[in-house]
Amino acid sequence: MVSNPRVNDGTQQRDEKENVGDKNGVTLSGLLNVLDGFYAPTNVLFMMTTNRIETLDEALLRPGRIDYKLYLGKATDRQKVDLYRRFFPEASEFDAEAFVEMYRSVETMAEFQGLLLGLEQENWGLSGAELSVLR
């Protein structure tokens, strides 16, 4: 599995690609070369995720590069409550539900997890109940 949060998604103009690669670490051309270039690894499973598939370059999505797509969709309130309680096990169900309601605009599990990670770092040591009071 290859995970690089700094990979360029290929949406920039051709003349901007080199600058984007310098800034983000990997160009679209470099990524494609790793996936199926001359020295591409064999027997390796690559997993890619995105919240915005419509912005990805068609070259990245062609058959043979992406063989299987799984759409996860928006997170349910129950999933968000469960994730909140994993981050803050001492929080009550009520506190978790109130938090989810407060951040209703956060739609995916990835976005919600990012929100919780930020809260965890900002408020290290506070309980889930104490966090609910702060928000």
pLDDT of 78 over the 60 cut: yes
Only one residue has tokens 């998604």, namely 9
First-to-last alpha carbon distance for the chain, in angstroms, is: 37
pTM: 0.53
Please report the beta strands in the chain, taking only residues with DSSP state E, as ranges in sequence order.
none
pLDDT of 94 over the 90 cut: yes
Q: In sequence order, what are the beta bridge partners of 7? A: 26
Of 103, 57, 53, which is closest to residue 81 (Cα–Cα)? 103
Domain ranges in the chain? Answer: 1-71, 77-134
